[in-house]
Structure 1
Amino acid sequence: MDDEAARTEERSVGDVDLTTWRTRAGRASATVWTRLGDRFGALPLLIVTLVIGIGIAAVCTWIASEVYDAVREADDVAVLDRPVLDWMMTLRSPGLDTAVTWWTNVAGTIGMPIVALGFLVGFTIQRRAWTPVVLLVAASTGSLLMTIAGKDLIGRARPPLADAVPPYEHSPSFPSGHTLNATVVVGTIVYLLLLRESRRVTRVWTVVLGAVFVVSIGLSRVYLGHHWLTDVLAAWALGLAWLALVITAHRLYLTAVHRRPGDVHRAS
């Protein structure tokens, strides 16, 4: 889709105009982005920005791994890992174990791509635009690379198999890939849905359901004994950071499509 066709895309969430930047840094970035968009095209620039963002996300993952090492050595937040897992184990029952295993698989290596693909097809057909494709593919790629990088950098062992519910997993524990991918993919889907929803109650329920899904997936990983609590906390933090970068990139894209450099400076 070319930039002219992109002008029909939604650019607000409720009463919030995403092309309005209220900080000096935001306005400056938007001005530069708009000028570059005029020269090279907004969509190609969005793709380049997201690729750069993936690199930034990888650096954030490295920083998170260093912070995690410091926390583990100080025995700070990590001191909660064992007690929380022990408490989760007291809640288990055969029926609940089966239900939670089914639920956590929705965010697994098979379930999450199916969810993303389903929404991707729907967005593409409904909007007749490439932007949702670019955002979801970039978001998913970034979260996958962050998961791989984090596991390779830390190499943390998962909870003992004796404390886990089968089927067992043997890859490194930090961060929780299910949690990270669910946070990013579902967060991106929620954001794209909010752009289409005009009723406040619908927007609220969309955010609530998305948040419940992400939180429940993270808790399911601890319940099943497949991850420690700190693995899940780190995944939520990394996922939200990457999601913020993806949304910011899209806001800059919308600004380049709908505004001119002078308009950005006049926005308050």
Structure 2
Amino acid sequence: MAGEVGNKVIIFDTTLRDGELMPGVQINVEQKLELAQFLEFMKVDVIEVGYPAAKEKDFAAVFQVAQLVKDSIVCALASDKVEEIMVAAQAIKPAAQGRIHLYTSVNLKDRSIHSQAETLARIRESVATAKNYCADVEWSAFDATRCEPDFLCQAVETACASGATTISIPDSLGTASPESFSQLIQMLQQRVREIDCIKLSVHCHDDLGLAVENSIAALHSGARQIECSINGLGARKGNADLAAVVREIARMPDYYTNVNLNQLDSASELVKQIVEQIP
């Protein structure tokens, strides 16, 4: 950590959840417990453990990590379906600090007013439902970089007004450039009411090899949480690499993270060993 001066950047690790979406990668419950405890030791702020409604294994992992981890926020993913939110809430129930992470697709193929109204209603209901079970609710605008800008602003405003504490803007298919992604974040900062009342997060995929650059560009434009993974594990070509992000921030005078730089190489080796064990 390069001194607690300036703006803190929250590091949200999704190795245990999105990392498993990389072809050939599987992480069992015991390995998730080991990694989660190491992430806590590294002082990672948020640990996204899994998608409890999608896999029984993930429910078990989230529930057990929630019992063990005390210093980091334990996060579970759910869609905007009420039944998935209920499962996520049950999974994080033992956590000293829990978070429900919701997502809704905002790149609407049917751009009718009716379709937009239905989507906004789902955002409103899902965030409000999650708030009944957990004070810390993150909402992600899935496929935000390909969404119509006016509707994206409406969707983010709706999530804010419904009680989301963090709003994530993902480059879901890894199609953005640092310039275009930075402009998107700036637009939201300028146009969305109550944007200052939430933490703005980004989740960048590495299809064009730009996940780290896009994350840092967003940081300069107002984002204060970066979602990343150890060794960049994640769907398709991966996510922003945690070590690269943290080391880049450590060189900046105006930003800092809580992550222990001395443990980055050990974390990388631990994940390599787990991945190499996969048959």
Q: Same fold (TM over 0.5)?
A: no
* Structure (1 or 2) with the greater strand fraction: 2
Structure with max Cα Rg: 1
Higher relative contact order (CA 8 A, sep 6+): 1
For the superposition of Structure 1 and Structure 2, which TM-score range results when normalised by the shorter chain?
under 0.3
